[in-house]
Structure 1
């Protein structure tokens, strides 16, 4: 890349025919290239360095990039760019002073700025989203032909080298609002050892307005190796990949921390204005570490560490077909009430050899596929080939095979929409609460313990099916989330005569366990009887597995009967009372080579025992089973349906 061109001569023009006092030094303004300070040969030859004061009630239009030693913007004063341009203020190489306006643009906040002051005039990168227009500014903009000086703020870059295809050691520091680090659109670029720190609020992580790294477009590809990314602020996201782009991060660390919400912000789930986690999912916070959106978009993190103070670490929105998110041998951490990953709209998420340490959920599924497995040589090579990651043999060899470790202080995986989850490859899932929580969704779960996978729920519940307790916003535009309230239904559910609790339906939930030893309970606490689902069955099958625990239809009840946003942590937390099936059939198949030991009263609608399967009571106790009120001996090879009750004496 050619070096940045020096800025043109100063052109500070008063707006609306008002001439503003710029100080005596302005007449001899010294304007230097934004990238390298001048080094005069003789100190006496240095001309006066200009200063600028923007008086209260006045407007100054800065027509060209200008360097100063002093800038003062009085309250009520406006520093503006020419029409169609954007201003960025840097002091000693740090972007600063930018404040978001209600119109989603930025202004230079009142204050006194001293040092190497540069006011950069550049072309904004306009992004349109759901009727809104966001003028993005960034330290480095890369297009299809490489870096674009007209849309880059060179004064906000320090250290390192910027070339046509790669940058080494790039440093970007920002303390203003809604400033981007690096933005790649339909270009291919490599960042080696970048250091990016952004402090102050962003605006929208749906488009990357205020993100550290953004890549978009079907030809967009950004690779980061050895990066250190830190973001602090509302919607100040570290990575955003959009519109079919590919993002690959290796050997890097990225962290995001919450900011302070603007005055008057009302919690909502409208993508145009959303700046906080949807508390109706049991979440909190106002920044997520990464986001992925658009058909064909791909993001993969290799041997990296990703963390967010809350909300989420690996997110996806309106993903569409062909959207893929993955991580290999990486650590994912969320310290507040948030998730490790969020899957939506047919996205495929694959996590191999990863360490998740979260408070809220390992993952939330709203229409995607999730796979937690081991980073075997074969699995990683297949991912590299299928997803076209471009990893060399040496890089693949550096990814040592290991299993995934998933830890959550609350829940494991939440289904808040249809989708599938696969657990294998020696993955160990350890939770403080329920391992798999399904809220009225056609969930598909497959757990294969052949390589040592284990499920260790802290509350003893392996799988919970229940009604959706999301207190949906009363208005369709999503603004009603602030005042939404969940209230526990009163009375017993009404039996739906046309709903068959002994057969599988497309809307049912299905769980399959293979070659694994399980200790814990499986409950179907759906009420049904009204609304979207008249009823929902849960089908469970065991193959060469052993289960010690209750498998039963239940009646569920929250710990508190009314839940608003001050009690969001109560969502999904229920007690189960084994109860006869109403609209919540439970179909259990104890398949080949399997053994079920019920530990308490169980109510089923279907029970099948393979000829090689066993069903026994816990040691020293006896088991009684009735079907439609008649005593039955649960012999291997048997199959029963109807009102099934199992008791342990």
Structure 2
């Protein structure tokens, strides 16, 4: 493992005084009482070692208590077990090792010979139930409402540092076995400072944190990690998991997750009970997400940290509650009019990177996400929206303080003053944001958004997009497409329970779409896609290539509203074609990659409103269903060329203050 960078600079007072000061971030909840001194692993050492233990083939050896050895041999076919209600963990020289997952979701000590400071710890079981499955979690440190619990902690897997009732300093955990947890906090408040956690080997489920470095669970849980260095490598070996109403604050930390090797019997699927790989039907790959957040009222915030994943995703959020409300997103770092469960995630002045085909963040089920002054550098998508609200803006003092107040983070004045105001910098080497469900996105402040491919990719969804460029925000799509509305090309799993996703194949439709006579393409509907741009210069095309006429959605209009904007580009209904006519798991990168041919509106209306101070300069033929020009708006041709506009075949002059609907064609001559 590469050498860790030095911990963040700070006041080098005694350990106790530093922990107390940092504990103030939680309103004193992490104060270390005098009766709870910090302890090292040696203070809780296992009994003196016995020479050796051999578990013979065909035999089962049950250890009734923690056992220290100089050598342990488990022969193939031999079983080392714990009594009912207990679990075993093997450590060698302070490193958890030897654990392998069984088909029943438990772990067993793998055959082999282990030498050194060998400790087999017998702990109380910590069964976590999830959708009919039971995961028997094991932890280096388990913290409950009253502090660390030795009965559920493998103290032999902790080296260095000191552990107290309310905080731990310099804790180190190294694991090379499968599905071993670093720190689990449930229904209590705890502070980790300068933790070093390295987990190598597969986990099992990031929905419950089975095999995660840090897990926080429960509505009374508040976990702060300051200066953490976490490296995970393995299937579902997640760095941070927040569940069930917990609040997690990670600051000045570095988190990284890398892929593992899937079991031979694994079949790709999207059933949460068994899923261990990215859903390729979204154009993703990989088998580990760096972080995950789930559950009603769960809150996770990352401050001045670096978060990265080899692929799949960095900041994932899962089920929160009811559906998405189409309320607006405010521009000061808070959500507006969000009802239902409050499941939320934010990052401030942090760097988010994905090297392979993955996303920076994923939002679903009414989750709210804010990114203030963050830098994204991803290969797949900056974000994916399934249902929820996303905001990208600046880390101004006002925005950060508002976030702290509204979300009850309890940040200290020192925390707030250490955050230098920054603008967001979003970079994707493929797509920008992708909707495969309804959702709201706001981009404001000085955010600069760069993509290689299409910036806003809407796959048949009632998207909401609000971009405010009054403070310098810029949109720079590399392929010249600002916004693409199209049919959803997700080849859904062939089985309703999420199994068999690998079998899905997308086939390009061949017949021409049929016009739906009961769908009005000239007016905006509540479930249409809507994009509003204010005070920004835009260069790029906006296309609606939705086919419609199939299933419950007969049509989908694209409503484009410009206020004090200058737009140079083609805006049109189109006919969409993928580069290849069929797409399976081997060609997942072809999903969302389409060409557009401007075509008459069928079920894909394009409704444009040029508001006050707006100027649209079409660069190609545009097919619209409705157009309105404010008295202070302009529509003109590029330099040296002219425009021809027809409505229902009749030539008209696009005068400010007028509006038209029907079959509208604008040609550049």
2:584 aligned with 1:583, yes or no?
no
**Counterpart in 2 of 1:99?**
100
Q: Secondary structure of 1:265's match?
A: coil
Does the 8 Å contact 1:4/1:149 carry over to 2?
no
**Counterpart in 2 of 1:343?**
363
Does the 8 Å contact 2:39/2:163 carry over to 1?
no
Does the 8 Å contact 1:34/1:155 carry over to 2?
no
Write the distance in 2 (CA, Å) between the matches of 1:87 and 1:473. Answer: 38
What is the aligned counterpart of 2:622 among 596, 602, 608?
Answer: 602
TM-score, normalised relative to structure 2: 0.91
Cα pair distance change 1:92/1:297, threshold 3 Å: same
**Counterpart in 2 of 1:209?**
210
1:173-184 maps to which residues of 2 (within 5 A)?
A: 173-184=174-185
Q: Secondary structure of 1:380's match?
A: helix
Cα offset, 1:37, TM superposition = 7.6
Residues 422-479 of structure 1, C-alpha deviations (whole Å, 9 max, x = no match): 0001111100100000001110000000111010001100000000000011211111
Write the distance in 2 (CA, Å) between the matches of 1:444 and 1:214. Answer: 33
1:526-545 maps to which residues of 2 (within 5 A)?
A: 526-545=546-565
Q: Secondary structure of 1:536's match?
A: coil
Write the distance in 2 (CA, Å) between the matches of 1:312 and 1:572. Answer: 18
**Counterpart in 2 of 1:362?**
382
Structure 1 or 2, whichever has the larger Rg, is 1
Does the 8 Å contact 1:4/1:35 carry over to 2?
no
Residues 554-591 of structure 1, C-alpha deviations (whole Å, 9 max, x = no match): 00000000000000000011000000000000000111
Q: How many residues align?
A: 616
**Counterpart in 2 of 1:641?**
661
What is the aligned counterpart of 2:474 among 448, 454, 457?
Answer: 454
Residues 385-414 of structure 1, C-alpha deviations (whole Å, 9 max, x = no match): 111111111211110001000000110000
**Counterpart in 1 of 2:424?**
404
Write the distance in 1 (CA, Å) between the matches of 2:351 and 2:647. Answer: 49
Structure 1 gap ranges (5+): 7-31, 39-46
Write the distance in 1 (CA, Å) between the matches of 2:222 and 2:552. Answer: 42
Write the distance in 1 (CA, Å) between the matches of 2:378 and 2:353. Answer: 5
**Counterpart in 2 of 1:11?**
none
Cα offset, 1:58, TM superposition = 1.1
Does the 8 Å contact 2:46/2:66 carry over to 1?
no
Q: Secondary structure of 1:202's match?
A: coil
Cα pair distance change 1:630/1:640, threshold 3 Å: same
Root-mean-square deviation over aligned CA pairs? 1.5
Residues 24-55 of structure 1, C-alpha deviations (whole Å, 9 max, x = no match): xxxxxxxx9784489xxxxxxxx984211111
Cα offset, 1:506, TM superposition = 1.5
Does the 8 Å contact 1:413/1:437 carry over to 2?
yes
1:140-539 maps to which residues of 2 (within 5 A)?
A: 140-320=141-321, 321-539=341-559
* Large movers: runs of 4+ above 3 Å: 1-6, 32-38
TM-score, normalised relative to structure 1: 0.94
Q: Secondary structure of 1:384's match?
A: helix
Q: Secondary structure of 2:182's match?
A: strand
Does the 8 Å contact 1:622/1:648 carry over to 2?
yes
Residues 270-307 of structure 1, C-alpha deviations (whole Å, 9 max, x = no match): 00100000000000000000000001000000000000
Write the distance in 2 (CA, Å) between the matches of 1:104 and 1:267. Answer: 17
Does the 8 Å contact 2:492/2:504 carry over to 1?
yes
Write the distance in 1 (CA, Å) between the matches of 2:146 and 2:664. Answer: 69
Cα offset, 1:599, TM superposition = 0.2
Residues 50-92 of structure 1, C-alpha deviations (whole Å, 9 max, x = no match): 2111111111111100111101111111100011100000000
Write the distance in 2 (CA, Å) between the matches of 1:283 and 1:443. Answer: 21
Q: Secondary structure of 1:379's match?
A: helix
Write the distance in 2 (CA, Å) between the matches of 1:280 and 1:190. Answer: 39
